[in-house]
Chains A and B, each alone.
Chain A
Amino acid sequence: MLTETATPRTLPLLEVEGVDKSFPGVRALSDMRLELRAGEVLALVGENGAGKSTLMKLLSGIHTPDTGTFTLDGEPLTIAGPKHATELGISIIHQEFNLVPHLTVAQNVFIGREPRRARLLLDERRLVRDARELIGRLHLPLDPNAVVGDLTVANQQMVEIAKALSYDPKVLIMDEPTAALNDAEVATLHELIRRFVRPETGVIYISHRMEEIRRIADRVTVIRDGQYVDTVDVAATSTREIIAMMVGRTLADHAGPQGVRADREVLLEVTGLSTKALLKDVTFDLRAGEILGFAGLMGAGRTETARAIVGADPVDGGVLTLRGSRIRIGHPADAVRHGIGYLSEDRKRYGLLLDKDVKANVTLGALARRFTTAGFVHDRAARAAASEYVGSLRIKTPSVDQTTKFLSGGNQQKVVIAKWLARDCDILIFDEPTRGIDVGAKEEIYQLLNELAEQGKSIIMISSELPEVLRMSHRVVVMSEGRVTRILDAAEASQETIMHYATLRPDENVEDAKELGLDPVETGAAEDEEGKA
């Protein structure tokens, strides 16, 4: 796709050859290879733990390789550290942003090299001018004076990109740049990448999302278990083939869920749930043994609904009915006591004790209930239970004493799941259960969700990936702007219907409000307000 605008030289821009890297007890990379040609976007794919992050850390100079060589533009390369890497022309945008939330866009972009007057005084005016010039050149929708913490995740991503490109790099490496972006934002990002790629530059694009790779990348390099597998032309290779290379096996085709659970008992009813911040009259029910998908765009209120149900955020109104009787939840501890567990989308922040071992994490929720007598912890029982879950969920860890921060994303997610299985909740709310998880582990998690539903557990699955929602859900709750706009049966759910209801704007659009049968007065007022503004 890029060959239309640029003629790529066949010369490699960046070459990685025969790179080995070991950490105590782990061989992270072995005989790694990579060739980025000038003028191309090269996708780098591999399961979590395949060695992508290690390779990135070597290229950014955070670690040094044990053996092997790097070559940039034919010149051998020794990278002394992150700053040195940018000076050499390699800019990396990490998955987790390196931004200071209290500073402005301009201050963030030029952090550490602010223009000065008389050596000591900051030249704030020139800083803003330079930032404005850069933002204009990149066609970014940013205000240099905006405070970064106030920006959306997508715009923060843009600030990272502006910062990276301000160094005029030859090689731009992006690690999962779209993990938190919606479709429109992804399109903007891809636009930007296409503008950046010139005959003398190249992009390494790390992603799990196959359809994105198909849209943006020219070639794709697959790595597995720290080793190089192959590099292929994206246009000439099917997604299925790429995935097969990643996991080392082919994945079976899966149909949607079998049958609807209309006959089952209603376990949980949520009626009129509202919050001051966002939610308006959220109403739905959840049946035993059902997987209820929650679809919607970023900010539609899916995570907020989950957090309101489990008492993690304050609620403004609404009634929860569990097995026919009303329950009140003021704190997550109340929710868990009623058998409702929430697995956050941000498992590092809300799901795990990262500096504690697998055993402590798995047994945390069930500790008081299953593993103690008179307050004393039965260490042996806790260890045995943890080992059992490590086995049954196939958590890849050297032992239950391994600190969880050293596990890959998929295995960390399994540890969180194990924690909730140990607590034996009837209702589990999974928020983006496969975010940042590689294809193979994803399959295992899908299988697990299905098994849980088979056992009669009720599952709410919030997901931004429509294929995932369609494949897993018995019914789909679609949200937009804090409202439930439609509940679809599996039979009527499709990418098109979900997107239709996810993009309704009842607060701004009278037609949409009418379609939902909402009070026209309210929407009229909203329209007036808009007219004034």
Chain B
Amino acid sequence: MVTTREKSGVAGRPVGAVVKGRLQQLLAFASLIVIFAFFSVASPFFFTYGNFTAILFSTVVIGTLAIGTTFVIITGGIDLSIGTGMALCAVMSGVFIVNLDLPLAVGLVATVLFGGLMGLVNGINIALLKIPPFIATLAMMLVAEGLALVVSGSAPIYFSEEPAYTKISTGNLIPGVDFPNAVIVLIVVAVIAGVLLTKTVLGRYTYSIGSNEEATALSGIDVRKWKIAVYAFAGLFIGLAGIMISARLGSAQPATGMGYELQAIAAVVIGGTSLSGGKGSIVGTLIGALIISTLNNGLQIMSIPQEWQNVILGCVILVAVYTDILRKKEA
């Protein structure tokens, strides 16, 4: 069409740009190491293999929720229904596997899909009915909280007849090595989510919608469809988290869910995902979730009262987000 006059910028991505783009992750990772080093010096019980696996194990539920939520937050949305939604999914898992006595695999798939269904409803409310994400998922949070109690009759459902179910969380897939299955599940879904976010159309549109929803729509992308897809996809992680928490406890507790959504959102934010949308990563979110569980673990080991742990976590969130703002100012 027109002749090339100047160098067209075919050159590969400069290292500086990569470092800059990943700075928030590097910062988060560095703080994780600092926290690790601090607790290792402060307590002789911290730096042990047993404690490492304990930290990883306690990251699983929040990590799973946070991975799904990362997609939602990158679109510029929010999902408050993941905590109580998780409790409802745990109850549904009990219904499927214990009450209805479905085969384990079928029950697991049905539970994950049930989470996806909740996400789908969120997505439809947000994308088609244009209800703001905060309100739509707040409503879903209450609905799920109530339904979990209604369906279970406000009583826990025990998986005592299903020893295989608890193995999903506490069993050791690798014989002779003390490495809980739950952590393997988290790693696998993190890898899948990471690939989806960075290598697929779903991921690209997730970022595009968060960056500029109107421009994305005018570029011929059916933003409504993709937003529904993102919320439904994030819902699958609610279902999975419901399985992981009930497998860990050996029972579906209808009332334990509230509060998890904020921990998961905190993990996402500490990991450098912007609440205004358009940027974020799965690696960052995992680091964020690890920071939270390492803090909780370390503070417990140092016998710091539970009440103080949340105070410290709150301060960590402020520091994490403020460094992100500082970084943006420099750019």
Bound: A412/B204 CA distance, A: 20
Q: How far, in Å, is A414 (CB) from chain B's closest CB? A: 10
Q: Could you tell me if B9 and A390 are in contact, using CB atoms closer than 8 angstroms?
A: yes
Q: A356-B278, A387-B10 are in contact. Are A337 and B220 (CB under 8 A)?
A: yes
A353-B8 Cα distance, complex, nearest whole Å: 20
Q: Which of A96-104, A344-352, A493-501 contacts B (4 or more CB under 8 A)?
A: A344-352
Contact of B6 among A351, A364, A376, A396 (CB under 8 A): A396
Q: Which residues 448-472 of A have a CB within 8 angstroms of B?
A: 448, 451
Q: Is the CB of A342 within 8 A of B9?
A: no
Selected contact of B2 from candidates A351, A372, A447, CB within 8 Å: A447
Mask: chain A, 359-373; 1 = CB below 8 Å from B; 0 = not: 010001101100010
- With contacts A353-B212, A355-B279, A377-B204 taken as known, whether A332 is within 8 angstroms of B2 at the C-beta atoms is no
Known: A349-B214, A364-B208. A377 touches B201 (CB 8 A): yes
Decide yes or no whether B33 CB sits under 8 A from chain A.
no
Q: Which residues of A contact B207 (CB under 8 A)?
A: 353, 356, 360
- Which residue on chain A has the smallest CB distance to residue B17? A401
Chain B residues whose CB sits within 8 angstroms of the CB of A419 once the complex forms: 219
Q: Does B256 contact A (CB under 8 A)?
A: no
Say yes or no: A310-B218 contact (C-beta < 8 A), given A372-B201, A375-B201: yes
Task: Answer whether residue A341 sits at the interface, using C-beta atoms and an 8 A cutoff.
Answer: yes
Structural contact, A402 and B9, CB atoms closer than 8 A: yes
Contact, CB under 8 Å: B220 / A332: yes
Q: How far is the CA of A390 from the CA of B211 in the complex (A)?
A: 22
- Given the complex, which residues of A lie within 8 Å of B17, measured CB to CB? 401
User: Beta-carbon contacts of B1-12 to A below 8 Å, as 1s and 0s?
Assistant: 110111011110
* B residues less than 8 Å from A342 (CB atoms): 218
Across the interface, B9 reaches (CB within 8 A) one of A351, A352, A387, namely: A387
Residue in B200, B212, B218 with the greatest tally of chain A CB atoms within 10 Å:
B218
Shortest CB-to-CB span from A398 to chain B, Å, is 6
A352 to B278, CA, bound (A): 13
Q: Is there an interface contact between A368 and B215, defined as CB atoms closer than 8 Å?
A: no
Name the B residues within 8 Å of A353 (CB-CB). Answer: 207-208, 211-212, 215-216, 278
Q: Is the CB of A349 within 8 A of B215?
A: yes
| Contact yes or no, B220 A392, CB < 8 A | no
Interface centre among A354, A355, A358, A367 (most CB of B within 10 A): A355
Q: Which residues of B contact A341 (CB under 8 A)?
A: 220
Shortest beta-carbon distance from B192 to chain A in Å: 13
Q: Could you tell me the distance between the alpha carbons of A488 and B90 in the complex, rounded to whole angstroms?
A: 69
Complex contact B204–A360 (CB within 8 A): yes
**Contact of B199 with A331 in the complex, beta carbons under 8 Å:** no
Give, as a whole number of angstroms, the nearest-CB distance from A506 to chain B: 31
The answer to whether A260 has its CB under 8 Å from any CB of chain B is: no
Residue of B nearest to A398 (CB): B9
A399: interface (CB < 8 Å): yes
Counting CB contacts under 8 A, is A423 at the interface?
yes
A448 and B2 CA atoms in complex are apart in Å by 9
Asked if B13 is an interface residue, CB under 8 A from chain A, the answer is yes
CB distance from B309 to the nearest CB of A (A): 35
For the A-B complex, the count of residue pairs with Cβ-Cβ distances under 8 Å equals 120
A354 touches B8 (CB 8 A): no
Q: Considering the complex, give the chain B residue whose CB is closest to the CB of A382.
A: B204
Number of interface residues of B (CB under 8 A): 37
Bound state CA distance, A490 and B199, in angstroms? 49
Closest chain-B Cβ to A452's Cβ sits at a distance in Å of 9
Residues 74-120 of A at the B interface (beta carbon under 8 Å): none
Residues of B within 8 A of A376 (CB): 199-201
Which residues of A sit under 8 angstroms from B54, Cβ to Cβ? none
A residues 259-311 near B (Cβ < 8 Å) are 310
Q: How far is the CA of A332 from the CA of B224 in the complex (A)?
A: 11
Q: Which residues of B have CB within 8 Å of A350?
A: 214-215, 218
B162 at the interface (CB under 8 A from A): no
Taking a contact as CB atoms under 8 Å apart, the answer to whether A333 and B221 are in contact is: yes
Contacts of B9 in A (CB 8 A): 358, 387, 390, 397-402
Determine which residue in A353, A372, A401 has the highest number of CB atoms from chain B within 10 A of its CB, and name it.
A353
Q: Counting CB contacts under 8 A, is A336 at the interface?
A: yes
Determine if A377 and B199 form an interchain contact, defined as CB atoms under 8 angstroms apart. Answer: yes
In the complex, what residue of chain B is closest to A343 when comparing beta carbons? B218
B272-286 interface code vs A (CB 8 A; 1 in, 0 out): 000000110000000
The yes or no answer to B202 lying at the interface (CB within 8 A) is: yes
Within 8 A of B (CB), among A372-426: 372, 375-377, 379, 387-388, 390-394, 396-402, 419, 423
A396 to chain B: closest residue by CB: B6
> What does the 1/0 interface line of B107-138 toward A look like (CB < 8 Å)?
00000000000000000000000000000000
List the B residue with the shortest CB-CB distance to A393: B2
Query: Cβ of A312 and Cβ of B2 under 8 Å apart?
Result: no
The minimal Cβ–Cβ distance linking B77 to chain A, given in whole angstroms, is: 17
Q: Considering the chains assembled together, what is the distance between the CA atoms of A448 and B1 in angstroms? A: 8
Bound together, the chains give a CA A333 to CA B17 distance in angstroms of 33
Q: Taking CB as reference atom, which chain A residue is nearest B220?
A: A336
A335 part of interface (Cβ distance < 8 Å): yes
Does A444 interact with chain B (Cβ within 8 Å)?
Answer: yes
Contact, CB under 8 Å: A356 / B211:
yes
Complex contacts, A337 vs chain B, CB 8 Å: 220
Residue B178 at the chain A interface, CB threshold 8 Å:
no
Within 8 A of A (CB), among B257-280: 278-279
* Contact residues, B194-209 vs A (CB, 8 A): 199-205, 207-208
Among A375, A401, A447, which residue has its beta carbon within 8 angstroms of that of B13? A401
- Indicate which residue in A344, A394, A423, A447 contacts B4 across the interface (CB closer than 8 Å): A394
Contact status A368-B2, CB under 8 Å: no
Known interface pairs A333-B220, A342-B218, A401-B17. Does A394 touch B5 (Cβ–Cβ under 8 Å)?
A: yes
B222 at the binding interface (Cβ < 8 Å): yes
Q: A391 with B8: in contact, given A367-B201, A448-B1 (CB under 8 Å)?
A: yes
- Complex formed: what's the CA distance from A507 to B8 in Å? 53
Interface hub of A391, A397, A444 (most chain B Cβ within 10 A): A391
List residues of chain A with CB within 8 A of the CB of B217. 312, 331-333
A397 to B8, CA, bound (A): 8
Contact B215 A333 (CB under 8 A): no
Distance to closest chain B CB from A166 (angstroms)? 30
Q: Which of B205-249 contact A (CB under 8 A)?
A: 205, 207-208, 211-212, 214-225
Given the complex, which residues of B lie within 8 Å of A401, measured CB to CB?
9, 13-14, 17
Whether the Cβ atoms of B221 and A365 lie closer than 8 Å is yes
| Residues of B1-48 contacting chain A, CB below 8 A | 1-2, 4-6, 8-11, 13-14, 17
Alpha-carbon gap, A367 to B8, bound state (A): 21
Residue of B nearest to A337 (CB): B220
Q: Which of B199, B205, B219 contacts A336 (CB 8 A)?
A: B219
B201 touches A368 (CB 8 A): yes
Residue ID in chain A nearest B330 by CB atoms: A24
Which A residues lie at the B interface, using CB under 8 A?
A: 310, 312, 331-333, 335-337, 341-342, 344, 349-356, 358, 360, 364-365, 367-368, 372, 375-377, 379, 387-388, 390-394, 396-402, 419, 423, 444, 447-448, 451
- Residues of B at the A interface (CB closer than 8 Å) are 1-2, 4-6, 8-11, 13-14, 17, 199-205, 207-208, 211-212, 214-225, 278-279
**Sample of 19 more A-B contacts, CB < 8 Å, known A394-B2, A399-B10:** A310-B218, A333-B220, A333-B225, A335-B220, A337-B220, A344-B218, A349-B214, A349-B215, A352-B212, A353-B208, A353-B215, A354-B211, A364-B208, A364-B219, A390-B8, A393-B1, A393-B2, A447-B2, A448-B1
Q: List 22 A-B contacts (CB under 8 A).
A: A310-B218, A332-B219, A333-B220, A333-B223, A336-B219, A349-B214, A349-B215, A353-B215, A354-B211, A355-B278, A356-B211, A358-B9, A364-B208, A364-B219, A365-B221, A372-B200, A387-B9, A388-B8, A391-B8, A393-B1, A396-B6, A400-B9
